[in-house]
C-alpha cells in the first residue's frame, strides 16, 4: 500500500494506492456512522459494489455510463437526491466509477450546501492515474466538453488496481494514454520505461499497475500543489494533447471517441505540430506515435473520423486561451513539454488541414 499526501488549495488529503479493504477504517471515520451516498453506474456496481458495501453502509445512486453522466439533468438529479437524503454538509459523498462519475459527483459535492466532502474510489485506469486527484470537476454543456465546472479537492482518494481487472480493453487503453502523457511531459515516469513495461501494465500485471498508478499520482500531486487552480501554467502541462483532444471529442459527438483515445491522437498531433514548427525532432514524434499505436490507441485524425474543419473553431473556443491568443502545450521532445502562449492560428489551421 502506498500513501501519497496531496496539499492543495489549503487542504490536505491522502491518496491511498492499495487494496480497498485496507481503507475501511478511513472511510468509516469520514462517514461518522451514517450510510454514505455512493454515485456509481449499474455496471460498476454489479461488478464491484459488494467490495464497497463490505466496508461500510452505502446508498448507491445510479447515473448513466460514461460521458452521458456529465450532463445538467444528471447534476440536477444528484442534487435532488442528496437533498432527499437530507445530507448535512459535513457528510461525504462517494464517487465510485470512472472519470465521468468522478467529475459529476465532484461538481455536485462542490455545489451542495456550498460544498460537502467527496471521496473518490476510481475504478478505471484513467480515473486512478489522473481524474480522481486534483479537484477538477465538470459536466459538459452546449456541446462543449467540461464547460461547467469547479475546483473541489477530495477528502480522500482510494485507488485499488484490483478493480481494473474487469475493465474492457478499450477503456484500459484509453486510460493508458494518460499514463503516457506523464512520460511525455517529463514527470516521474520515463518514456523508455513505458516502452519496456507498457505491455505488462496493459496485460494486467498488478504490481506494475500499482507502481504506475503511484508514479502518476505523485506527479499529478506535485503539479496540482504548485498550481491548484490551473493559473500559472505549471498544471497546464497536464493538458498536453488535450486542446486537440477535447476538440476531437466534441467534433466526434461527446462520448463517441473516448477521452483517452482523443488525448492519444491529441498528443501525437502536438508532437507533429511541434516538429513542423522546428521545436522538436521528427524522430521523437514518430517514436511517440509508434508506442501509442502498439498500445492499441488511435493516433491520427483519420482514425477518429472527425471532420477536421470543425476542430479549429473548437480549439479557438477552448477555455485555455487567454486574451485571444491561442495557448497550446507543445514540446521540445519526449519529456520536455511547455506552454506556448502565442500560437499562430493560421499556422495551426494549415497544419490541421494537412495532418494525418
Ligand X SMILES: NC(=O)c1ccc[n+]([C@@H]2O[C@H](COP(=O)([O-])OP(=O)(O)OC[C@H]3O[C@@H](n4cnc5c(N)ncnc54)[C@H](O)[C@@H]3O)[C@@H](O)[C@H]2O)c1
* Residue 232 CB neighbour total at 10 angstroms: 11
Tell me the CA end-to-end span of the chain in Å, nearest whole number: 43
Q: Which stretch binds ligand X (CB under 6 A): 170-178, 267-275, 278-286, 315-323?
A: 170-178
What residues does 329 pair with on adjacent strands? 339
- State the cell numbers at 183: 512520460
Closest approach of ligand X to the CB of residue 187, in Å? 15
- Name the residue nearer to ligand X (CB basis): 56 or 118: 118
Rg of the chain over all Cα atoms, to the nearest angstrom: 19
Contact pick of 18, 37, 60, 66 for ligand X (by CB under 6 A): 66
Q: Minimum distance from CB of 222 to ligand X (Å)?
A: 15
- State the DSSP H helix or E strand holding residue 28, giving kind and residue range, or none if neither: helix 24-31
Q: How far is CA 206 from the centre of its chain?
A: 21
Least distance between ligand X and beta carbon 93 (Å): 16
Segment holding 339, helix H or strand E? strand 337-343
Select from 25-33, 109-117, 119-127, 341-349 the region that touches ligand X (CB under 6 A).
119-127
Query: 118 vs 275, which CB is nearer to ligand X?
Result: 118
SS3 labels along 39-94: EECHHHHHHHHHHHHCCCCEEEEECCCHHHHCCHHHHHHHHHHHHHCCCCCCCCEE
Q: Decide: 152 and 137 in contact? Cβ < 8 Å.
A: yes
Taking CB under 6 A as the criterion, the residue among 105, 110, 124, 187 binding ligand X is 124
- When binding is defined by CB under 6 A, the residue of 60, 134, 186, 228 that contacts ligand X is 134
Rounded to an integer, what distance in angstroms lies between the CA atom of residue 140 and that of residue 354? 29
Rounded-to-integer distance, Cα 317 and Cα 300, Å: 22
| 39, 45, 70, 251: residue in contact with ligand X (rule CB under 6 A) | 70
Q: Using CB under 6 A, which of 105, 171, 214, 250 touches ligand X? A: 171
Binding mask 149-168 for ligand X (x = CB under 6 A): --------------xx-xx-
Does the protein bind ligand X through residue 223 (CB under 6 A)?
A: no
State phi, psi for 15 to the nearest 5 degrees: -110, 120
- Give the integer Cα–Cα distance in Å for 27 and 183: 32
By CB atoms closer than 10 A (0-12, 13-18, 19+), residue 299 is buried
> Is 41 a binder of ligand X (CB under 6 A)?
yes
Near ligand X by CB under 6 A: residue from 74, 91, 110, 123: 123
Work out how close the CB of 307 gets to ligand X at its nearest, in angstroms, rounded to a whole number. 21
Residue 47 touches ligand X, criterion: CB under 6 A = yes
Q: Is 37 left (phi over 0), alpha (psi -120 to 50) or beta?
A: beta
Site string for ligand X, 246-285 (x = CB under 6 A): -------------xx-------------------------
Query: Among 60, 63, 105, 130, which residue interacts with ligand X (rule: CB under 6 A)?
Result: 130
Q: How far is the CB of 133 from ligand X (least distance, A)?
A: 8
Question: Interface with ligand X by CB under 6 A: which residues?
Answer: 41, 43-44, 47, 65-67, 70, 97-101, 103, 123-124, 126-127, 130-131, 134, 136, 163-164, 166-167, 171, 174-175, 259-260
Amino acid at each position: 500500500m502506498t500513501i501519497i499526501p496531496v496539499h492543495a488549495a489549503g487542504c490536505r488529503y491522502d491518496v491511498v494506492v492499495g487494496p480497498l479493504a485496507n481503507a475501511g477504517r478511513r472511510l468509516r471515520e469520514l462517514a461518522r456512522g451514517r450510510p454514505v451516498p455512493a454515485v456509481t453506474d449499474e455496471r460498476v456496481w454489479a461488478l464491484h459494489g459488494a467490495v464497497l458495501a463490505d466496508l461500510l453502509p452505502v446508498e448507491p445512486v445510479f447515473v448513466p455510463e460514461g460521458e452521458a453522466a456529465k450532463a445538467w439533468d444528471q447534476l440536477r438529479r444528484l442534487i435532488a437526491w442528496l437533498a432527499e437524503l437530507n445530507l448535512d454538509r459535513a457528510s461525504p459523498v462517494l464517487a465510485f466509477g470512472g472519470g465521468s462519475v468522478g467529475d459529476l459527483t465532484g461538481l455536485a459535492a462542490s455545489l451542495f450546501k456550498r460544498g460537502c466532502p467527496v471521496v473518490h474510489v476510481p475504478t478505471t485506469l484513467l480515473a486512478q492515474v489522473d481524474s480522481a486527484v486534483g479537484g477538477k470537476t465538470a459536466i459538459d454543456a452546449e456541446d462543449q466538453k467540461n464547460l461547467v465546472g469547479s475546483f473541489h479537492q477530495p477528502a480522500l482518494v482510494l485507488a485499488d488496481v484490483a478493480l481494473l481487472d474487469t475493465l474492457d480493453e478499450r477503456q484500459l487503453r484509453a486510460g493508458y494514454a494518460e499514463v503516457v502523457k506523464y512520460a511525455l511531459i517529463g514527470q516521474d515516469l520515463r518514456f523508455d520505461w513505458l516502452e519496456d513495461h507498457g505491455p505488462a501494465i496493459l496485460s494486467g500485471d498488478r504490481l506494475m499497475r500499482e507502481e504506475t498508478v503511484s508514479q502518476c499520482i505523485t506527479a499529478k500531486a506535485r503539479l496540482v500543489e504548485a498550481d491548484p487552480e490551473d493559473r500559472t501554467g505549471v498544471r497546464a502541462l497536464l493538458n498536453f494533447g488535450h486542446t486537440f483532444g477535447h476538440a476531437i471529442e466534441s467534433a466526434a459527438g461527446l462520448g463517441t471517441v473516448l477521452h483517452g483515445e482523443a488525448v492519444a491522437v491529441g498528443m501525437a498531433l502536438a508532437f507533429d505540430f511541434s516538429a513542423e514548427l522546428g521545436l522538436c525532432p521528427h524522430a521523437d514524434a514518430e517514436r511517440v506515435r509508434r508506442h501509442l499505436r502498439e498500445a492499441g490507441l488511435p493516433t491520427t485524425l483519420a482514425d477518429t473520423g472527425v471532420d477536421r474543419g470543425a476542430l479549429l473553431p473548437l480549439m479557438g473556443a477552448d477555455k485555455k486561451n487567454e486574451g485571444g491568443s491561442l495557448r497550446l502545450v507543445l514540446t521540445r521532445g519526449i519529456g520536455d513539454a511547455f506552454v506556448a502562449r502565442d500560437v499562430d492560428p493560421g499556422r495551426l489551421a494549415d497544419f490541421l488541414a494537412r495532418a494525418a
